[in-house]
Amino acid sequence: MTHMVSDQSRKIVKKSYDDIEKAEFIRIGNQFADDFLFQNNKATDIPINALRIIFNIISILRNDQFMPEKQVRQLTLFDEEFETENNVFISMKIRNRKISEKRSSKQIVEAYEYLTKFRMGWYTSKNIAGKDIKTFGGLISLPTYEERGYTSFLISSFWLKKLIVLTEYNHVMYELVYKIRNNKHVLFAIWLSKIPENGTTLKLSTFNQKFNLNYKNSNDFCIKFLKPIRLNLNKLNHLSFNYKYQHDAISIIPYLNKNIEEGLLTEKANDVRLINRRIRYFKQRYYLENIDLTRFLYSYSNILKIRLQIEEAYKRFIKENRSRGKTSTNIKGIYFLQKLQEFLIEVYRESETGKRFPDAYPVII
């Protein structure tokens, strides 16, 4: 149902979203990150409470997010609903305690005011038919206290599209904006999720400019800025990083946190990009390029239960090598897959199904 909001710019509200249970991980579109969080390749100095609003918006929208190349119909439906008229919005409400634990009116008001005023203006996007659709506002518009304990606001179709149409995206842990108080540290974690798997090297001056810092030398930057972030991400995020420097050149090398819990694997189980990243990891680390991987690839890519069992088998493989003082990469190629198969059988037979049908274990070689 379409509702009219009476104000000077005639906002048309097409859909309403209520606050829902938080997600463990949120998907942040790269286009939104580039256009809003890292405008002109420089991190926006967004207050931490405003970042909490953004994280909650994305969490609430998660069930409507989609990848256009795989869900063409969804893109058409979005266009029909939100990109046929100018000044189309959705409405949303968020619990105040999710923005300020103490429910400080001052903190809440300041956070919403920031997102209302930041980048406020007219925005134009083209719909599928090539028609220009115009909307006015910042990321949010007209924040109001309509219900005790909540704040309601509007989001324009322009920013909504960047939030839910995910041409490229990365996972970020929802709790980061609660566990980490420093907004620059959270923005660094978002930036880290976007860099290449093999890392990147930037000059100290570039890092200073990107994150609005003023470190005089690389050692101070690494010890005072990077080290605390790394410690937090090791505990809180699926992605952390190593760093090194030579003169004013600082290298950041991301890695998947070894303390990933099964909940994360489940949350990201159908993320094709991350599945492919993991497969590349196995191929490169254990020299599997010339091995017949048909069964392994099919099972890992398509069957969640087996994928989780393979990951558990791999943990046991690593643990066994460490207990013997050996490096796991000494076992390569088909020999790696054979050892992984042994542990996979072990993991399977400990499951309820395995106890009933001990010989029906997955075969990956």
Q: Over the stretch 48-102, which tens digit does the pLDDT of each residue have?
A: 999 999 999 999 998 888 888 777 888 888 888 888 888 889 999 999 999 988 7
Better-scored residue on pLDDT, 265 or 166: 166
Q: CA 236, CA 59: separation in Å to the nearest integer?
A: 18
Better-scored residue on pLDDT, 220 or 292: 220
Instruction: Locate 100 and state its tokens.
Output: 């300020």
Q: In the prediction, which pLDDT does 9 show?
A: 54
Q: In the prediction, which pLDDT does 258 show?
A: 58
If you average pLDDT over residues 328-355, what whole number do you get? 89
Q: In the prediction, which pLDDT does 271 show?
A: 66
Percentage of the residues of the chain whose pLDDT score is greater than 70: 93
Q: Is the pLDDT of residue 164 over 60?
A: yes
Give backbone dihedrals phi and psi of 251, rounded to 5 degrees, phi first. -105, 135
Q: Is the pLDDT of residue 116 over 50?
A: yes
Candidate from 2-16, 31-45, 119-133 with smallest mean pLDDT: 2-16
Give backbone dihedrals phi and psi of 103, rounded to 5 degrees, phi first. 55, 40
Confidence of residue 226 (pLDDT cuts 50, 70, 90): very high
If you average pLDDT over residues 347-351, what whole number do you get? 88
Mean pLDDT over the full length of the chain: 86
DSSP letter (8 states) at residue 68: T
Q: In the prediction, which pLDDT does 5 show?
A: 40
Q: In the prediction, which pLDDT does 255 show?
A: 83
Confidence of residue 172 (pLDDT cuts 50, 70, 90): confident
Q: In the prediction, which pLDDT does 14 show?
A: 87
Candidate from 50-59, 201-210, 264-273 with smallest mean pLDDT: 264-273
Q: CA 27, CA 268: separation in Å to the nearest integer?
A: 10
Q: CA 157, CA 160: separation in Å to the nearest integer?
A: 5
If you average pLDDT over residues 295-311, what whole number do you get? 85
List CB contacts of 240: < 8 A, sequence separation 6 or more: 230, 233, 234, 254, 255, 257
Give backbone dihedrals phi and psi of 27, rounded to 5 degrees, phi first. -105, 115
Q: Is the pLDDT of residue 266 over 80?
A: no
Q: In the prediction, which pLDDT does 136 show?
A: 85
CA geometry: angle at 357 spanning 352 and 362, to 5°? 90
Percentage of the residues of the chain whose pLDDT score is greater than 90: 43
Q: In the prediction, which pLDDT does 2 show?
A: 37
